[in-house]
Amino acid sequence: MFCGEGLLSHLPFIRVFNIILSGFLSGLSHGRIFAPVRKWYLILAVLLLFPALLINLGLMVFIDDEAIRSLVAQEMLWSGNFVAPAMHGDAYLNKPPLWNWILAASFTLHGEANEWAARLPTVLSLLAFAGTTFLFSRRPFGDRLAVIHALTVITCGRMLFWDSMLALIDVCFSWLVYTQVMLLYRFGHKGRWWLAFGCTYLLTVATFMLKGLPAVVFQGLSIFALLGYLREWRQLFRPAHLLSGLTCVLVLGFYYLQYGHYVDLAQVGQRLFVESGKRTAAAHGIWETVRHVVAFPFEMSYHFLPWTLLLAYLLRPGAWRSLRTNGFAAFCLVAFLVNIPVYWLSPEVYPRYLLMLFPLLFASLLYLHRLHAERGSRTYHVLRYLLLTVMTLCAIALPFVPLVPQTAVVAYPWLKSVLLGGVAGAVVLGGWRDERNFLLLLCCFLLLLRIAFNLFLLPARATGNERGNAVRATAESVVRTNAGKELAIYRHTLVEPATGYYLTAAYGRVVPRHFDRYVPGTVYVGSPLQYGELRIAATDSLYLRHLDTRYPVGYLLNPLPDPGPDATELRDGMGSGISIE
Block means of pLDDT (10 residues each) for the chain, 581 residues, are 37 45 49 55 93 96 96 96 94 94 97 96 97 96 94 96 96 97 94 95 97 92 93 94 96 94 87 66 67 89 95 93 93 94 83 93 97 94 96 96 93 95 96 93 97 96 93 96 94 94 96 88 92 92 94 91 65 80 66
DSSP summary character for residue 409: G
d(CA 187, CA 180): 11
Q: How high is the pLDDT of residue 564?
A: 65
Q: How high is the pLDDT of residue 32?
A: 47
The residues, ordered by sequence, that sit 6+ positions from 153 with a Cβ below 8 Å of its Cβ are 126, 129, 130, 133, 159, 359, 362
Q: Which helix (H) or strand (E) holds 543?
A: strand 536-544
The alpha carbon of residue 525 and the mean position of all alpha carbons in its chain are separated, in whole angstroms, by 31
Exposure on the CB side of residue 321, measured as CA atoms within 13 A:
3
Contact status, residue 472 vs residue 462, Cβ threshold 8 Å:
no
Contact status, residue 140 vs residue 328, Cβ threshold 8 Å:
yes
Q: How high is the pLDDT of residue 6?
A: 38
d(CA 476, CA 472): 6
Maximum Cα interatomic distance, the chain, rounded to a whole number of Å: 82
Q: How high is the pLDDT of residue 289?
A: 79
Q: How high is the pLDDT of residue 566?
A: 61
C-alpha separations of 264 from 124, 169, 213, 259, 269 in Å: 35, 25, 18, 9, 9
d(CA 323, CA 368): 7
d(CA 444, CA 130): 15
Contact status, residue 115 vs residue 167, Cβ threshold 8 Å:
yes
DSSP summary character for residue 62: P
Q: How high is the pLDDT of residue 281?
A: 52
d(CA 320, CA 315): 10
Contact status, residue 214 vs residue 96, Cβ threshold 8 Å:
no
Handedness of CA 56, 59, 60, 66 (dihedral sign): positive
Q: How high is the pLDDT of residue 276?
A: 62
Contact status, residue 64 vs residue 496, Cβ threshold 8 Å:
yes
- pTM attached to this predicted model: 0.90
DSSP summary character for residue 227: H
Q: Which helix (H) or strand (E) holds 514?
A: strand 513-514
Q: How high is the pLDDT of residue 20?
A: 46
Q: Helix 413-433 crosses helix 378-397 at what angle (to 10 degrees)?
A: 160
Q: How high is the pLDDT of residue 268?
A: 85
Q: How high is the pLDDT of residue 35?
A: 44
Strands across the sheet containing 549-556: 513-514, 487-490, 523-525, 549-556, 536-544
